[in-house]
Amino acid sequence: MKLRRVDNPPNPYLSEHREWLVPPPPARIEVYEETAASILSHNESPDLPFNWSVNPYRGCQHACAYCYARTYHEYLGYGAGTDFDTKLVVKTNAAELLRKSLTHRKWCGETIMFCGITDCYQPIEAAYGITRQCLRVCLEHANPVSIVTKGFLIVRDVELLATLHERAGVTVMISIPFADAETCAKIEPQTPPPARRFEAIRRLSDAGLPVGVFVSPIIPGLTDRNIPEILEQAAEAGATSAAFTALRLPDSVEAVFLARLAEVMPLRLKRIVNRIRDVRGGALNDKRFGHRMRGSGTYWESVKGLFEMSRDRVGLSTVNRGCSEQRPRTRPATAPAPATVQLNFDF
């Protein structure tokens, strides 16, 4: 892998989105352009309901303290803390690679997830447009896609997504773990506030796209109480489905998350940590497949019950994203040849 640092990357203010939705990040952003060897990643995990994903970027400006993908930045020789938020890698040839994969004789048109280890609609997408390029390739080949994002920038592509949905199928999940903007800003400092994300649901729904709300992660002792309000507002905005997962704190992510909590809400730190241990059998994380995305124990059962009751009350359907029984995972016989598949570091 070869990375080329960009001293003066494309200016997002000269693109079609010219204003920050939140205050600009305090740290200096460093952008590196990569000519990637491959773009499709195959998922072997039983916790995730998809086989293939596309990640146009590495790192994420949203700076969510809990993001499990932080550990994958360490494979690049960077840190899992502020490096993940500020040292961003752009796969400039992503669309070209995706086109090559979708025209492979063994590709059978499976749904492709955007993304797995980054947010495809983080602010840098306004400058580079790699996600939109990849979506256009999916439209060319009538290949269905599924998207999970916190980014309000997705509304830029409403028309493109609506056309793709008509030809192949699109599902969108907007991730909203916090109900109030103040708490959100402490843990997800560079994400659009919840109100903007509910507005994104409304715009996508008005365009005829199936859109759901992803209450993820649920942070025991902090965001579980937000569940009823989030689901109610999402339903009012036009969401038709809902899903949730438990907080994951793998490896270096644990230190990043706990440091953020200690800084922004020290008086609540002990209670939150104790609640996390309640749903993880006394630990702060469970790496086992089939357990990573959900908790266990009495407290977690109460969280599940609250989610299910609130979901049913507002009339949302269920989406399986790791919080219920898992379907068996097998590698499709018609998958692309190994030479076109990215090493499975993404999950």
Coil/strand/helix, residue 229: helix
Q: How far is CA 319 from the centre of its chain?
A: 15
List, run by run, the mean pLDDT of 10-residue segments along the chain (347 residues). 54 47 68 94 73 94 95 91 95 97 93 92 96 98 97 98 98 97 97 98 98 97 97 98 95 95 96 96 86 87 97 89 35 38 33
Q: Which residues lie across from 172 on neighbouring strands?
A: 147, 211
Structure tokens given for 161? 């997504």
d(CA 168, CA 150): 23
User: Which segments of 13-59 are extended strands (E)?
Assistant: 30-34, 40-42, 52-54, 57-58
- 99 part of a folded domain: yes
Question: What separation in angstroms does the CA of 312 have from each of 235, 239, 305?
Answer: 11, 13, 11
Write the CATH number for 81: 3.80.30.30
- 343 part of a folded domain: no
d(CA 47, CA 49): 7
Q: Which residues lie across from 341 on neighbouring strands?
A: 40
Q: How many domains in the chain?
A: 1
CB 218 within 8 Å of CB 303: yes
- Please provide the DSSP assignment of 126-146 as one string: HHH-HHHHHHHHHHHTT--EE
pLDDT at 5: 60
Smallest CA-to-CA distance from 48 within 245, 296, 283, 213 is with 245
Question: What's at 15, amino acid-wise?
Answer: S
pLDDT at 153: 97
- 147 part of a folded domain: yes
Question: What's at 67, amino acid-wise?
Answer: C
Q: What is the pTM of this model?
A: 0.85
CB 90 within 8 Å of CB 123: no
- 173 part of a folded domain: yes
d(CA 92, CA 73): 18
- Residue indicated by tokens 């969280």: 303
Smallest CA-to-CA distance from 46 within 244, 320, 343 is with 320
- 55 part of a folded domain: yes
- 321 part of a folded domain: no
Residue 239, domain extent: 3-11+25-316
d(CA 184, CA 192): 9
d(CA 316, CA 181): 23
Residues sharing a CB contact under 8 Å with residue 263, sequence separation 6 or more, in sequence order: none
pLDDT at 31: 94
Smallest CA-to-CA distance from 209 within 201, 198, 217 is with 201
CB 342 within 8 Å of CB 238: no
Query: How many alpha carbons fall within 13 Å on the CB side of residue 227?
Result: 27
Biggest distance spanned by C-alpha atoms of the chain: 58
CB 243 within 8 Å of CB 215: yes
- 56 part of a folded domain: yes
- 281 part of a folded domain: yes
- Residue indicated by tokens 């990569």: 34
59: left (phi over 0), alpha (psi -120 to 50) or beta: left
